[in-house]
């Protein structure tokens, strides 16, 4: 074809023309860089990197989108970022979507706003309860958001939480939040995962409902210890009500439960622990239980997984029946009452007490989620195995049947150790006489 | 001459060129049309005359049989004529290097003879004690029949010349060759033959330490410029009569000796023949060492990856010979050329085998890492900084961003500038005389390390990238390979600057395809990983020595096994050291 374009070479100029024939090809090769181009090249320091996005209800637009933009010099600088300068820039725009927010931000932020490094997405609770998560569609389509960003539902407007997020030990506020999520493995008071991808994966399936992190901003001015008491008689471990004074005025503990994309309720840390045990996602944690012989006192133990949790679907049909068996091991950490539970009979009593208190929490969690109609534990994962086709499963309507399901739990706890000493410390005079 | 004239002459000498200006030639014209000079004519006449004499004598000797044909030359029976012709050939007496000494051999009757040798490359002691002394002083008992020149030569060779290698030369060209290699030539009156006595003593430095391939453990001798010494160093390690040294000569003017070593029955005959063919096919004026010769015999001269291995270590050469490779020693060059070579051989050192195998393997992995860093790190940095900041953890991204904030240049310019500075320091460090060498280090550390960062011309992260890359490229044991990788790095950097990771991936792909398509003396370049079957041993890691039972799989060897499967055998007859009572 090239030959036809250039005509048949002739005579002594043949050689020269032959090389001319390659010319269009060379030209095309030289044009290639323009196609792939260095057009999307951005020098790293010319980007405004959004670390976190907050989403609230908007007034003139559907959403008020708050972005937390890193100031690299202040966040990673050698001199410690300079005393008073905040390490991040927080600004709010109202837009129908993140990409729309980017357009508005480009009206007054000099650098190119990039969502590549956004690690957390804060959503106001009232938005999540009233409208659900309609913006999730954009999270899955928009290339700049990474799917590993985690979702946090906030009791207060997200903008307020982001503003209050000034950790004292860390410089980077989002690194602080990220570190809070690491506590999942040793306190078991946060859901196992709350990433965009994990939440999104559960939005379209019926066998389990999403859980996300739950955070709250507290009033810094007030110096009182706040908090409420949980069903087990202890302080309730839930964001915004942690019994504490001082520290960063943002808590993140417990979880927000969703039914589909709508938020339906809040679970506290203790409930999350019971839920993780049922999900087989529990590894180990310290936990306090009422002393069976002295109900005013608490016994603190270190719980760890004994065997994988076994969930058996006993019956499907109109009213499904499910049995969950949890086997745990425990090591005593503290018995302030001074009662010697190392005696075989007493040990069994303590084991029984721990097991029954755990079971009580589990049943309460199950009852609450049934009330919400949100199978956040994911019993449906076990039920779905009994259906040969997706159509049959969908026709069964698991989310509709879950509230009516009969779920039995059993918990077995074995005390393995009593810490570094077998007998209680004889601190009291009473003990000395014994 | 006024000032204006002087200035004009200074600025444009050709404008005011007078008769007193010396001009050499017409600056690179073809020279056709000029009459051949007298010197050219004389040279041609000399050659033609020798050729014609030889032809005449060949015709004469043809009926007499093979022996007579071999003795045909262009020498005459007249000593004076021979001497005059040889001197003419050497442009003596203008050329002062050819020394001729006319003597009278003290036989009965005395015979006139001339000793010829080249100043500086022959051993004077041998000439004095073993040639002159017997001929001039100890020849009294020898009775010669007058007029029988050939007979006299026979007797002189057998009874008088106490040299250890004496050969007969029948023509002036071979006389010249002997003289130039340092031999002493004896011309005898009445004989059309010359005797060449071996008196070679070229100026040589002694065996020294390796300069580029040092090891911590292992021998510290290295090749030097005398190829015979080099061969001796290798032969000392391989005491096998099958080790063959063939001598080839390359270069019309330089007539450089090239020693080709291989072990018969181990080296594939086809490989030996091919190496020989390639070396013999080189028709050039001068071959100035192994570095030059390897350019003429390598497979792909356009490739950035070296396809020949140059080594200055006799132990390494011996190891390759024992594996069936061919080694070329070029006279005046302190390196041997190993043919063929694979990519992995360029990443290996002798030390890998001297250490216990885990350490040897670890060393190789470190070098492999160095290769990756030297080739990819700058491109990776540019790709991350310019195209894909989302690839690195946020904390690192922010750190890079803050370190780049005060820098006024794009990161590519920054990187290239620092790379150029680095190359300047390297080149200056190589060329600088030893006395002021430390200055380079001082300036380099100041320029690279501190001043550039403090002036905020470059970011500290970039210094780290450039320094790590430089360090990694020096960790590559082969000098030529280091150069290849350095140039490839710049190519990849160009691609990355234009296309980001896409370009880097495409470039790397092209490099790998290119490397795997290359061959070195018929052997796939990436062998034994590419192009051979069977287990890969001793390429990326090195297995224990007792498990390296076979020679490399990429050579078509006659006998692949080099040691028994069980190297350390248990012999029931051997005395047992631990007695039952033993402590």
**Token pair recorded at residue B434:** 């030893």
Residue in B closest to A79 by C-alpha: B402
pLDDT less than 50: residues of chain A: 1-12, 81, 433-434
Residue in B closest to A50 by C-alpha: B394
**Token pair recorded at residue A282:** 């529990």
Of A44, A89, A174, which to mutate for an interface test with B (greatest number of B Cβ within 10 Å)? A44
List the one residue out of B397, B415, B493 whose CA is nearest residue B459. B415
Of B383, B401, B460, which to mutate for an interface test with A (greatest number of A Cβ within 10 Å)? B401
Q: Do A43 and B385 touch (CB under 8 A)?
A: yes
User: First-to-last CA distance in chain B?
Assistant: 107
Distance CA A363, CA A22 (A): 79
**Token pair recorded at residue B374:** 């030297």
In chain A, residues with a C-beta closer than 8 Å to the C-beta of B395 are 76, 172, 175
Q: Which of A37, A72, A116 sits opposite B401 (nearest CB)?
A: A72
In chain A, residues with a C-beta closer than 8 Å to the C-beta of B400 are 44
Q: What is the DSSP letter of A293?
A: S
State whether residue A305 is helix, strand or coil: strand
Number of A to B CB contacts under 8 A, please give it: 80
Distance CA A360, CA A59 (A): 44
Q: In angstroms, what separates the C-alpha of A169 from chain B's closest C-alpha?
A: 16
In chain B, residues with a C-beta closer than 8 Å to the C-beta of A38 are 386, 497-500
Q: Do B503 and A43 touch (CB under 8 A)?
A: no
Distance CA A349, CA A370 (A): 31
Q: Which long-range contacts (CB under 8 A, 24 or more apart) does A314-319 make?
A: A316/A383, A316/A386, A316/A396, A318/A401, A318/A404, A319/A401, A319/A404, A319/A405, A319/A406
pTM (two decimals):
0.82
User: A1, exposed or middle or buried, with CB in 10 Å at 0-12, 13-18, 19+?
Assistant: exposed
Per the rule left: phi > 0, alpha: psi between -120 and 50, beta: everything else, B255 is: left
Distance CA B539, CA B552 (A): 9
| B482 to A303, B367, B374: CA distances (angstroms) | 58, 12, 9
Please name the residue that has the structure tokens 């010829």: B116
For residue A334, list its beta bridge partners. Answer: A300
The reported pLDDT for the residue numbered A17 is 57
Distance, C-alpha B67 to centroid of its chain? 39
Each residue of A274-333: pLDDT tens digit?
999 999 999 999 999 999 999 888 999 999 999 999 999 998 888 999 999 999 999 999
Residues of B engaging A, defined by a Cβ cutoff of 8 Å: 384-387, 389-390, 394-395, 397-402, 404-405, 407, 410-411, 497-500, 502-503
Please name the residue that has the structure tokens 């990443």: B347
In chain A, residues with a C-beta closer than 8 Å to the C-beta of B407 are 45
In chain B, residues with a C-beta closer than 8 Å to the C-beta of A171 are none
Distance, C-alpha B175 to centroid of its chain? 27
| B35 to A347, B42, B44, B49: CA distances (angstroms) | 121, 13, 14, 21
Q: What is the DSSP string of B441-493?
A: HHHHIIIIIIIHHHTTSS-HHHHHHHHHHHHHHHSSS-HHHHHHHHHHHHHHH
Q: What is the DSSP letter of B94?
A: T
Q: Do A44 and B411 touch (CB under 8 A)?
A: yes
Q: What is the DSSP letter of A424?
A: P
pLDDT less than 50: residues of chain B: 582-583
Are residues A112 and A48 in contact, defined by beta-carbon separation less than 8 angstroms?
yes
Are residues B176 and B194 in contact, defined by beta-carbon separation less than 8 angstroms?
no
In chain A, residues with a C-beta closer than 8 Å to the C-beta of B384 are 44
Distance CA A405, CA A190 (A): 26
Distance CA A278, CA A328 (A): 11
Distance, C-alpha B237 to centroid of its chain? 20
Provide the strand spans (E) within B341-394. none
Q: Do B386 and A42 touch (CB under 8 A)?
A: yes
Q: Do B402 and A73 touch (CB under 8 A)?
A: yes
| B100 to B93, B104, B290: CA distances (angstroms) | 10, 13, 34
The reported pLDDT for the residue numbered A39 is 67
Q: Do B386 and A41 touch (CB under 8 A)?
A: yes
Residues of A engaging B, defined by a Cβ cutoff of 8 Å: 33, 36-38, 40-45, 47, 49, 51, 70, 72-73, 75-77, 114, 116-117, 119, 146, 172, 174-175
Q: Which of B390, B400, B499 sits opposite A36 (nearest CB)?
A: B499
Q: Do B398 and A43 touch (CB under 8 A)?
A: no
Q: What is the DSSP letter of A325?
A: E
Q: Which of A38, A51, A114 sits opposite B498 (nearest CB)?
A: A38
The reported pLDDT for the residue numbered A10 is 45
Are residues A152 and A120 in contact, defined by beta-carbon separation less than 8 angstroms?
yes
The reported pLDDT for the residue numbered A151 is 94
Q: Do B394 and A49 touch (CB under 8 A)?
A: yes
Number of CB atoms found within 10 A of residue B459's CB: 27
State whether residue A301 is helix, strand or coil: strand
**Token pair recorded at residue A249:** 């005025």
Distance CA A112, CA A104 (A): 12
Q: What is the 3-state secondary structure (H, E, C) of B227-294?
A: HHHHHHHHHHHCCCCCEEEEEEEECCCCCEEEEEEEECCCCCHHHHHHHHHHHHCCCCCCCCCHHHHH
Are residues B156 and B135 in contact, defined by beta-carbon separation less than 8 angstroms?
yes
């Amino acid at each position: 074809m090239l030959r036809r374009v250039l005509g048949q070479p002739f005579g002594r100029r043949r050689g020269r023309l032959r090389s001319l024939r390659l010319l269009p090809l060379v030209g095309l090769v030289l044009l290639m860089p323009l196609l792939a181009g260095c057009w999307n090249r951005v020098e790293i320091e010319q980007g405004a990197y959004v670390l976190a996005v907050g989403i609230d209800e908007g007034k003139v637009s559907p959403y008020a989108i708050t972005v937390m933009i890193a100031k690299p010099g202040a966040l990673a600088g050698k001199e410690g970022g300079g005393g008073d300068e905040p390490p991040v820039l927080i600004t709010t725009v109202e837009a129908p979507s993140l990409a729309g927010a980017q357009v508005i931000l480009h009206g007054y932020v000099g650098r190119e706003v990039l969502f590549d490094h956004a690690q957390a997405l804060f959503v106001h609770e009232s938005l999540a309860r009233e409208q659900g998560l309609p913006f999730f569609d954009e999270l899955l389509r928009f290339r700049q958001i990474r799917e590993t960003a985690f979702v946090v539902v906030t009791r207060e407007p997200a903008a307020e939480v982001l503003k209050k997020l000034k950790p004292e030990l860390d410089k980077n506020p989002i690194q602080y939040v990220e570190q809070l999520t690491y506590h999942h493995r040793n306190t078991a008071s946060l859901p196992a995962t709350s990433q965009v991808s994990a939440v999104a994966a559960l939005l379209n399936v019926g066998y389990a409902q999403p859980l996300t992190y739950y955070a709250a901003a507290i009033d810094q001015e007030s110096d009182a210890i706040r908090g409420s008491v949980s069903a087990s008689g202890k302080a309730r471990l839930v964001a915004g009500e942690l019994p504490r004074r001082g520290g960063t005025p943002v808590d993140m503990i417990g979880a927000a439960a969703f039914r589909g994309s709508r938020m339906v309720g809040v679970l506290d840390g203790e409930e999350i622990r019971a839920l993780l045990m049922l999900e087989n996602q529990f590894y180990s944690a310290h936990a306090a239980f009422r002393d069976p012989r002295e109900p005013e006192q608490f016994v603190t133990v270190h719980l760890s997984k004994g065997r994988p949790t076994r969930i058996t679907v006993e019956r499907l049909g109109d009213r499904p029946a499910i049995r969950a068996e949890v086997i745990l091991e425990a090591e005593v950490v503290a018995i302030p009452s001074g009662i010697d539970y190392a005696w075989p009979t007493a040990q069994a009593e303590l084991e029984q007490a721990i097991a029954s208190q755990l079971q009580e929490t589990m049943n309460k969690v199950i009852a609450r989620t049934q009330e919400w109609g949100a199978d956040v534990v994911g019993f449906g994962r076990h039920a779905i195995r009994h259906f040969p086709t997706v159509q049959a499963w969908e026709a069964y309507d698991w989310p509709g049947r879950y509230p009516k399901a009969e779920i039995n739990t059993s918990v077995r706890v074995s005390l393995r150790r009593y810490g570094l000493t077998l007998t209680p410390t004889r601190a009291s005079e009473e003990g000395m006489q014994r | 001459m006024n000032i204006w004239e002087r200035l004009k002459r200074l600025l444009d000498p050709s404008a005011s060129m007078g008769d007193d200006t010396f001009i050499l030639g017409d600056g690179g014209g073809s020279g056709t049309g000029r009459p051949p000079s007298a010197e050219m004519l004389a040279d041609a006449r000399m050659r033609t005359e020798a050729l014609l004499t030889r032809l005449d004598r060949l015709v004469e000797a043809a009926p007499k049989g093979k022996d007579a044909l071999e003795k045909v030359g262009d020498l005459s029976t007249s000593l004076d004529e021979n001497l005059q012709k040889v001197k003419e050939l050497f442009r003596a007496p203008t050329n002062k290097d050819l020394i001729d000494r006319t003597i009278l051999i003290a036989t009965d009757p005395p015979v006139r003879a001339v000793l010829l040798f080249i100043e500086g490359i022959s051993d004077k002691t041998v000439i004095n004690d073993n040639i002159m002394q017997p001929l001039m002083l100890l020849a009294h008992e020898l009775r010669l029949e007058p007029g029988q020149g050939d007979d006299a030569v026979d007797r002189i060779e057998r009874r008088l010349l106490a040299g250890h290698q004496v050969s007969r030369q029948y023509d002036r060209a071979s006389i010249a060759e002997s003289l130039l290699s340092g031999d002493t030539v004896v011309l005898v009156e009445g004989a059309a033959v010359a005797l060449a006595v071996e008196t070679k003593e070229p100026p040589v430095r002694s065996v020294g330490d390796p300069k580029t391939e040092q090891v911590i453990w292992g021998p510290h001798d290295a090749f030097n410029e005398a190829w015979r010494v080099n061969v001796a160093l290798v032969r000392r390690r391989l005491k096998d009569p099958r080790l063959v040294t063939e001598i080839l000569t390359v270069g019309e003017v330089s007539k450089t000796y090239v020693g080709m070593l291989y072990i018969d029955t181990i080296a594939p005959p086809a490989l030996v023949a091919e190496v020989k063919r390639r070396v013999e096919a080189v028709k050039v004026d001068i071959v100035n060492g192994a570095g030059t010769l390897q350019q003429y015999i390598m497979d792909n001269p356009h490739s950035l990856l070296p396809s020949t291995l140059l080594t200055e270590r006799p132990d390494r050469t011996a190891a390759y010979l024992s594996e069936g490779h061919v080694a070329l020693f070029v006279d005046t060059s302190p390196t041997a050329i190993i043919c063929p070579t694979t990519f992995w051989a360029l990443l290996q050192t002798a030390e890998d085998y001297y250490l216990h195998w885990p350490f040897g393997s670890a060393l190789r992995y470190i070098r492999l890492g160095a290769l990756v860093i030297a080739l990819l790190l700058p491109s990776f940095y540019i790709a991350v900084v310019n195209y894909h900041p989302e690839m690195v953890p946020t904390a690192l991204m922010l750190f890079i961003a803050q370190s780049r904030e005060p820098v006024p240049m794009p990161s590519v310019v920054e990187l290239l500038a620092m790379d150029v500075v680095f190359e300047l320091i390297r080149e200056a460090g190589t060329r600088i005389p030893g006395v002021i060498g430390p200055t380079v280090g001082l300036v380099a550390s100041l320029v690279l390390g501190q001043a550039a960062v403090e002036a905020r011309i470059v970011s500290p992260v970039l210094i780290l990238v450039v320094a790590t890359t430089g360090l990694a490229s020096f960790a590559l044991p082969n000098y030529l390979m280091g150069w290849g990788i350095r140039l490839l790095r710049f190519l990849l950097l160009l691609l990355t600057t234009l296309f980001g990771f896409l370009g880097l991936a495409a470039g790397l792909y092209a490099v790998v395809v290119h490397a795997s398509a290359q061959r070195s003396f018929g052997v796939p370049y990436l062998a034994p990983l590419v192009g051979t079957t069977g287990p890969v041993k001793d390429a990326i890691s090195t297995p224990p020595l007792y498990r390296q039972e076979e020679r490399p799989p990429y050579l078509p060897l006659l006998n692949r096994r080099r040691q028994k499967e069980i190297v350390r055998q248990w012999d029931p007859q051997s005395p047992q050291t631990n007695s039952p009572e033993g402590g």
